[in-house]
Chains A and B, each alone.
Chain A
Amino acid sequence: MHSKRFIAKPGANRKGLGVTALAFVFAAVFLFPIFIAVVNSLKDKGEILRSALALPARLNLENYELVLTKSGFLKAFFGSCFVTGGGIVLNLAVSSMAGYALARWKSRWSAFLTVFLLSSMFVPFHTIMITLLKTAKALGLTGKLWGLILIYCGLQCPIPIFLVKGFVSTVPHEMEEAARIDGCGTARMFRSIVLPLLRPILATVAVLNTLWIWNDFLLPYLILGKPSTIPLSQMYFYGQFNQQWHLIMAGFVISTIPVVVFFLVMQKYIVQGISSGAVKG
């Protein structure tokens, strides 16, 4: 076995180089749009008209300054942070309670509710969009960030509930029984015993939902109707500065920085989350 590996190595190395080179060609293709965006975000309008492919003549950060002031970027950034953070925290709190209850509640209602929640995955958002907006208007939730948070909480709870339920079912009941004998009520036991166990699975859900809420367009567009989150502010900015690509590309770069930072910090959870979804099917 040893000798075989030893002999195989030089060939594998050369092959490794070829594969790596090919992968880098793909990477260059993938990076090209981002490269174009960055390069043009540093030019002025005339330079882009002359050539969108050329490098900028000088390092020009005026576009960024203009985006930061004119697109209300900071306000939209904090709006996005608030909606995403609030949406995730509320959703996880509500879903982990419900998921736990469904796993432990010995009743046929439990199975029924689980199937009922999951069946919502078949329904495209566009099927409920018109009447959801009607409901939101009737409840006075439109135009309000916290209204959007409540709606996310309702729409996005089925999958976390299902994951939490599945996880709790694999945890032996004994620990909870022991705590109960020590005089612990269900609510307290949930907080001090079950919730810490759920931490890894909740982290995965949180990270994936963060990306989803942060980048979502249509629901905030319908509910808020003003540029209060980053995708909305960019949409309005695009309409306002039509064809001024130096500004739109600067907007793209600024809007992308927060998610890239988030990815670099949370990479492990993001990759894990997407991969584990694959194994589960």
Chain B
Amino acid sequence: MKSRTREETLTYLVFLVPAIAAFTLFFVIPFIQSVYLSFTDAYGYNQTQNWIGFANYREALTNPNVLRSLRITLQYTAFVAVLANVVALALALLLDDSARCKKTLRAIFFLPNLMSMIIVAFVFVFLYGGVYRSFLTQWNIPERLAVSWLGNEKIALYSMGIAATWQCAGYYMLIYIAGLQSISPDLVEAAQIDGASSLGVILKIKLPLLSPVIVMNIILLITSGLKTFDFPMAMTSGGPAGATTTIALLIYNTGFRSNRTGYATAQSVILFLIVCAVTTALYVLQSRKEKADAQ
């Protein structure tokens, strides 16, 4: 009996080795190295670096470019988290009960999500540029009324957010549809018999029951928003004048363009801490609310 347990334990260890080895090699070690480098003056991939304590962090948290980049990232994240959630919820509610051709419509809304963000970015650069200009000429709209979607510092970030919403709304719609399907039809029917309108059913029954799903989608959208990289990289290269340089793109530029790897890793650890703090806060809020609801 004893030898069998030992054999079993040994097998389990053998089963664990490949996954743990790959995970350690490509995640754990880079992570530890990254935290270490953030306290050094590492430059490029030079072998030698000196310990400089919190100097990189001090520089990052006082540098206007980094602070601006953090603010831009938060603005963008908030914009997409709200817009994509509203669109996804609206689509899910539309497809929930009485619409026809549900499967086709669902596939159409999900379609953009299948595409690589890099390629979607190119399409939107074209839409905001050439296609929009053709639209202006066709309707004889004077040049002074024209909007520079990606060239205006105040607008570019939100133009990007609209592209992101187009790309991701279908994904969150699917999550909402699953949530709506778990609502008991009896409940909805009972309300309808009591004379509730469809809007009433949505506001009084569906949305409250959906609130955990809404919170989850907000968490997912926020965590992915904070890491936004592909769109600014491919659409604007962070411009105009840095107006769309998200923190992820800034880390990339600091590390690979300016070669200041130590400083870049410090910025990346700051991003990590922000993601941790935001996610934890949202989960705590959610579980506290669930507890309050249960009482």
Contact = CB atoms under 8 A, between A and B. Distances in A.
B111 A260 contact: yes
Contacts of A134: 30, 33, 45
Most chain B beta-carbon neighbours within 10 Å: one of A17, A113, A154: A154
B94 A98 contact: no
A249 B98 contact: no
A141 B37 CA distance: 22
A170 interface: no
B260 to A, nearest CB: 10
A101 interface: yes
A245 B126 contact: yes
A234 B109 CA distance: 24
Contact of A137 (B29, B31, B45, B110): B45
Given A124-B248, A187-B11, A278-B175, A131 B265 contact: yes
Contact of A267 (B24, B101, B107, B108): B107
A33 B265 contact: no
Interface residues of A, number: 96
Contacts of B182: 279
B78 to A, nearest CB: 18
Contacts of B126: 36-37, 40, 52, 245, 248-249
A101 B15 contact: yes
Interface string A211-224: 10011011000000
Nearest to B234: A235
Nearest to A22: B94
Interface in A102-119: 102, 104-105, 107, 113, 117
A141 B289 CA distance: 47
Q: Which of B22, B130, B234 has the most CB of A within 10 A?
A: B22
A17 to B, nearest CB: 8
Interface string B33-44: 110010000000
Contacts of B175: 274-275, 277-278
B191 interface: no
B230 to A, nearest CB: 5
Given A124-B271, A134-B45, A218-B229, A234 B116 contact: yes
Nearest to B114: A259
A264 B220 CA distance: 26
B268 A129 contact: yes
A130 B37 contact: yes
Nearest to A150: B22
Contacts of A214: 116
A197 interface: no
Given A16-B99, A19-B98, A52-B131, A30 B108 contact: yes
B77 to A, nearest CB: 13
A178 to B, nearest CB: 15
Interface string A15-49: 11101101110110011011011001000000010
B269 interface: yes
Contact of A23 (B95, B212, B276): B95
Given A15-B98, A124-B271, A278-B175, A26 B23 contact: no
A129 B255 contact: yes
A113 B12 contact: no
A281 B210 CA distance: 13
A155 B28 CA distance: 10
Interface residues of B, number: 95
A89 interface: no
Interface string A115-135: 001001011111111111011
Contacts of B16: 97-98, 101-102, 105, 113
B227 interface: yes
A26 B26 contact: no
Contacts of B30: 128, 131-132, 134-135
B118 A217 contact: yes
Interface stretch (B50-58, B133-141, B151-159): B133-141
A135 B174 contact: no
Contact of A130 (B99, B193, B198, B268): B268
B222 interface: no
Which 5 residue pairs spanning A and B have beta carbons closest together? Answer: A154-B22, A154-B26, A275-B178, A16-B98, A98-B19
21 contacts: A20-B101, A26-B90, A26-B91, A37-B126, A51-B134, A98-B19, A98-B20, A104-B8, A107-B9, A123-B275, A126-B248, A128-B268, A130-B261, A132-B30, A215-B114, A215-B117, A245-B126, A251-B119, A263-B114, A270-B110, A271-B106
Interface of B: 7-9, 11-13, 15-16, 18-20, 22-27, 29-31, 33-34, 37, 45, 90-91, 94-95, 97-101, 105-112, 114-119, 122-124, 126-127, 130-131, 133-135, 137-138, 166, 170-171, 174-175, 177-179, 182, 192-193, 198, 212-213, 216, 226-227, 229-230, 233-234, 248, 251-252, 255-256, 261, 264-265, 268-269, 271-272, 275-276, 279
Given A15-B198, A105-B12, A157-B22, 14 more contacts: A16-B98, A36-B127, A97-B15, A97-B18, A98-B19, A101-B15, A104-B8, A104-B12, A120-B27, A134-B33, A235-B118, A251-B119, A259-B115, A278-B178
